[in-house]
Amino acid sequence: MLEQTIERQDVIIKLEDVSYSYPRSGRWVLKKLNLTVRRGELLVVMGRDGAGKSTFCKLFNGIIPHQAGGQFLGRVVVDGVDTAGSSVPDLARITAMVLDDPQTQLFASTVRNEAAFGAENLLVPADEIERRVKNAIETVGLSGYEDRVPGTLSGGEKQRLVIAAALAMEGKVLVMDEPTSCLDPAGTADFFSILKNIRAEKQMTVIMTSGDSERAAEFADRICILKEGELAACDTPRAIFADAALLRENGIRPPDVCSLADYLARQGEVLPFFPILTEEGVEALWKWKNAL
C-alpha cells in the first residue's frame, strides 16, 4: 500500500485514453494516448512532422479542450487537476508554455515587464512579482538586460526571456514546443545550458518536443515517439536510440555515435555496450579495441 501511495504522489501528469480532432478536420490528430509523467522528469517528444507533437503540447495548459474546439475524448490530469474541469487561467498557475518562435510571445516594452506579465495576470502581489522576476532573469542569464526592449534582443536572448516569463509564474510543469528550432548552434547550446540549470534549481517537470537526437540523448529521462497521433514508443534514450528500425520508421536521425555502433554491429563487430553519448562512444571503442 505504501509503495502504491508513493507512486501516485510521484506522478504529476496522467493521460487516459486521450483522443483529439480539430474542428472540421474529419480525422483524429491524437489517438488513445495513455501516459504518466513523473514529477521532475524531462520528457522529450519526437516524431515526423504531422505526428501530433504540437497538438500534444496543448493538452497540458487547457488550450485543448477549452480554446481549440474540436472533439476531445479521454482525460488529462495535471498535478491532480482534471484539465477539462478547469479553466485556462487556472491551469496557467500549474503549466507554462514556450513556443518555437519566441517573437510570437513577446509584446511588453522591457525585459522586466515581459518577465512579469504572466505573474501579474495571476494577480501575484507586487513584491512577490519582483522577487520572482529577479530570480527568473538571473536563472536564464539576462541580468543587466532588465531595461532592454525585447525586440532588440538576439534570437537566443528572446527565447531565454520567454523562459524567464514562464519561470516567474512558478508553475510545476514547463511545456516547450521545438524551443530551439529558430536558434543557431550557439543559441541552442545556451538554451540547453539554461535547461540544465532549471532542472537543478527548480525541479520542474519539463515536456519538450524536439528533433535534436544528440541533445535528447544527453538530457532526456525518457523519449516518447508519436506516430500519426499514436504513442509508438516511450522509453529511456538508450532503449529508443538502440532501436534502429523504430527510428527509421519514424524519420528520426539517431545520434552519430549510435549510428556508428549500429554500423559496426551490422558488420559483425559489436561494441561492449551501446553508447548514446560521445564520451560513451570513446569508452566503448577503447574497450572494443583492447579486446581484439
State the pLDDT at residue 6. 36
Q: How far is CA 285 from the centre of its chain?
A: 32
Residue 209 cell numbers, joined = 518536443
Beta partners for residue 30, in sequence order: 20
Contact 119, 166 (CB under 8 A): no
- The packing angle between helices 155-168 and 185-202, to 10°, is 20
In this prediction, the residues of the chain whose per-residue pLDDT falls under 50 are 1-7
Q: What Rg do the C-alpha atoms of the chain give, in angstroms?
A: 20
State the pLDDT at residue 9. 63
Contact 183, 162 (CB under 8 A): no
State the pLDDT at residue 27. 93
- Global pTM? 0.90
pLDDT tens column, 29-47: 999 999 999 999 999 999 9
Query: Residue type for 17, please?
Result: D
Number of Cβ within a 10 Å radius of residue 110: 14
The CA-to-CA distance between both ends of the chain, in Å, stands at 51
Contact 28, 207 (CB under 8 A): no
Q: How far apart are CA 225 and CA 44, in angstroms?
A: 9
State the pLDDT at residue 260. 94
State the pLDDT at residue 63. 94
State the pLDDT at residue 8. 59
Residue length, the chain? 292
CB burial of residue 227 (10 Å; 0-12, 13-18, 19+): middle
